[in-house]
Amino acid sequence: MKQHDKNGIPHTTPRQSATFTQDVNSDIRRAAATGIYDIRGGGAKRKVPHFDDLLFLGASISRYPLEGYREKCTTNVTLGTRFAENPIELDIPITIAGMSFGALSGQAKEALGRGASAAGTSTTTGDGGMTPEERGHSNKLVYQYLPSRYGMNPNDLRKADAIEVVVGQGAKPGGGGMLLGQKISDRVAHMRNLPKGIDQRSACRHPDWTGPDDLEIKILELREITNWKVPIYIKVAGARPYYDTTLAVKAGADVIVLDGMQGGTAATQDVFIEHVGQPTLAIIRSAVQALQDMGMHRKVQLIISGGIRSGADVAKAMALGADAVAIGTAALIALGDNDPKWESEYNDLGTTAGAYDDWHEGQDPAGITTQDPELMKRFDPVEGGRRLRNYLKVMTLEAQTIARACGKNSMHNLEPEDLVSLTVEAAAMAGVPLSGTDWIPGQLKY
């Protein structure tokens, strides 16, 4: 680069704009070339306050710890104790979130079932219905009841161990779904009763109810059809957690699933993923507050999802008041998604391992988010299941390690008082004091 112009006057150092960054400019060029918004998988990639901004205090003179490996720290959880005859009993408080068959291959669904069952937890269907692979390999299977109702039928409904009425997803509060034509194979088309190869849209709103009063009647219908046997979850995006939790309880939910903006999706507009919804950290306390205000905390269970990666995240979510967590993206990574071993193929797709998010295009080198028979062959569901089981076990051990250090003989005894925050923002969102102070921003002291 030349340092001076032809008259010998020095150039200023070229300066990139903080507003028009390289990323932004590439978005503009992409939009200009295609005329369509960017659709991708995954959750919000922007940095938002998260569990990393919280720390546990551990034990000290005023609180004594439990002996690692010797003294018990239970991890089991029972979901759906409010109305259901058969609540779901899980060994660990980490469940597998709903991910659609269609977005994922049949083998990937099988692997999720294998891994979750081996670790003593549940899996969840998704938009696109229940597959035999998943039902067959999941000891506990939650059946999603979605606006699209693809593949929805009373026989599968009755095979479910729980029903999850999906109102929203953290990646796209208020948004519907999208499965591009490339992924509509014969099998997917058949299950959804749609022509092959078309872009398939999933509605954003349920077709036969609007509002909490209708939802209450819808839940009555689902309970009547399933004989009041199985728990009914309501999944909402982290938008207005206090009111949504209140209304879900009013509508008769046994369990509330609350999904923050980092939560993954199979395919959504990037603008939606990055600009709508609240961070996972910011939604937990107000949902818990809503439950407490109704005297329903621990009676209606709360499952938190959106960016859960480790046992530390699990422990933090539970300390803030959750009964369990759900994972989507992390489970896919455990199965082998975005593995650097496929780097050259990611490069061919214009991306790199870790950043690959065009799951909707069906060209996943790892053979997980695809319906292409050749790519699917790369993925071994038995091996995938084993890897997921390992990962779930590690997360559980990590969470127990923290809980014992805090002197808890059950994961459910973790509490907000075990936490401090590293930043003012996270302190305000999580309702725990800023480290080194007794200051919880946003809480009045008079």
Partner 1 sequence: MKSIDLEAQGLRELNITLQAQSEKIEDDSWEIINPKGSHALAVGLNAPIEVAINGSTGYYTAGMNQQATVHVKGSAGPGVAENMMSGKVLIDGDASQYAGATGQGGLLVIKGNASSRCGISMKGINIVVGGSIGHMAAFMGQSGNLVVCGDAGDALGDSCYEARFFVRGSVKSLGADCEKKEMRPEHLEILKELLDEAGMDAKPEEFTRYGSARNLYNFDVDNAGAY
Ligand X SMILES: Cc1cc2nc3c(=O)[nH]c(=O)nc-3n(C[C@H](O)[C@H](O)[C@H](O)COP(=O)(O)O)c2cc1C
CB closer to ligand X, 106 vs 433: 106
DSSP H helices in 320-436: 329-335, 343-348, 373-376, 381-405, 424-430
Q: Who contacts 84 (Cβ-Cβ below 8 Å, separation ≥6)?
A: 162, 228, 229, 230, 231, 232, 254
Specify burial of residue 446 (Cβ count, 10 A radius: 0-12, 13-18, 19+): exposed
Least Å distance, CB 429 to ligand X, is 17
The pair phi, psi for residue 151, each rounded to 5°, is 70, 5
**Burial state string for 174-207 with b = 16 or more CB within 10 A and e = fewer than 16:** ebbbbbbeebbbeebbebbeeeeeeebebeeebe
Least Å distance, CB 326 to ligand X, is 6
Footprint on residues 119-158 left by partner 1 (CB under 8 A): 148-149, 152-154, 157
Do β-strands 177-179 and 200-202 pair in parallel, antiparallel, or remain unpaired? antiparallel
Footprint on residues 130-149 left by ligand X (CB under 6 A): 144
**Crossing angle for the helix pair 241-251 and 211-225, nearest 10 degrees?**
40
CB closer to ligand X, 117 vs 169: 169
Cβ atoms < 10 Å from Cβ of 340: 9
Footprint on residues 189-248 left by partner 1 (CB under 8 A): 192-195, 197-199, 201, 203, 207-209, 214, 217-218, 220-221, 224-228
x/- map, 9-38, partner 1, by CB under 8 A: -------------------------xxx--
Quick one: tokens of 264?
Answer: 């993954």
x/- map, 377-416, partner 1, by CB under 8 A: ----------------------------------------
Cβ atoms < 10 Å from Cβ of 212: 17
Kind and range of the H or E run holding 116: helix 106-119
Contact between 43 and ligand X by CB under 6 A: the answer reads yes
* Residue 264: contacted member of ligand X, partner 1, none (CB under 5 to 8 Å, by partner type): ligand X
Least Å distance, CB 194 to partner 1, is 6
- How far separated are the first and last CA of the chain, in Å rounded? 62
In this structure, are residues 409 and 75 in contact, taking their beta carbons and an 8 Å threshold? no
Sole binder of ligand X in the list 300, 308, 312, 406 (CB under 6 A): 308
CB closer to ligand X, 369 vs 433: 369
CB closer to partner 1, 198 vs 394: 198
In this structure, are residues 239 and 259 in contact, taking their beta carbons and an 8 Å threshold? no
CB closer to ligand X, 151 vs 407: 151
Least Å distance, CB 192 to partner 1, is 8
Longest Cα separation, the chain? 87
CB closer to ligand X, 66 vs 330: 330
CB closer to partner 1, 3 vs 193: 193
Least Å distance, CB 330 to partner 1, is 31
Provide the β-strand partners of residue 302: 256
Contact between 169 and ligand X by CB under 6 A: the answer reads yes
* Residue 201: contacted member of partner 1, ligand X, none (CB under 5 to 8 Å, by partner type): partner 1
If DSSP codes are grouped into helix, strand and coil, which group holds residue 284?
helix
Question: Residue with the closest Cβ to ligand X?
Answer: 328
Helices (H) and strands (E) in the chain, counts: 15, 16
Give me the amino acid identity at 224.
E
Footprint on residues 220-249 left by ligand X (CB under 6 A): 235
If DSSP codes are grouped into helix, strand and coil, which group holds residue 104?
strand
* Residue 157: contacted member of ligand X, partner 1, none (CB under 5 to 8 Å, by partner type): partner 1
Least Å distance, CB 210 to partner 1, is 9
Least Å distance, CB 126 to ligand X, is 3
Least Å distance, CB 66 to ligand X, is 29
Give me the amino acid identity at 259.
D
Question: For 121, what's the count of Cα atoms within 13 Å in the CB-facing half-sphere?
Answer: 29
Task: Tell me how far apart the alpha carbons of residues 360 and 37 are, in angstroms, rounded to a whole number.
Answer: 14
Which residues make up the interface to ligand X (CB under 6 A)? Answer: 41, 43, 97-100, 103-104, 126-127, 144, 166, 169-170, 235, 259, 262-266, 305-308, 327-330, 359, 369
Which residues make up the interface to partner 1 (CB under 8 A)? Answer: 34-36, 148-149, 152-154, 157, 181, 192-195, 197-199, 201, 203, 207-209, 214, 217-218, 220-221, 224-228
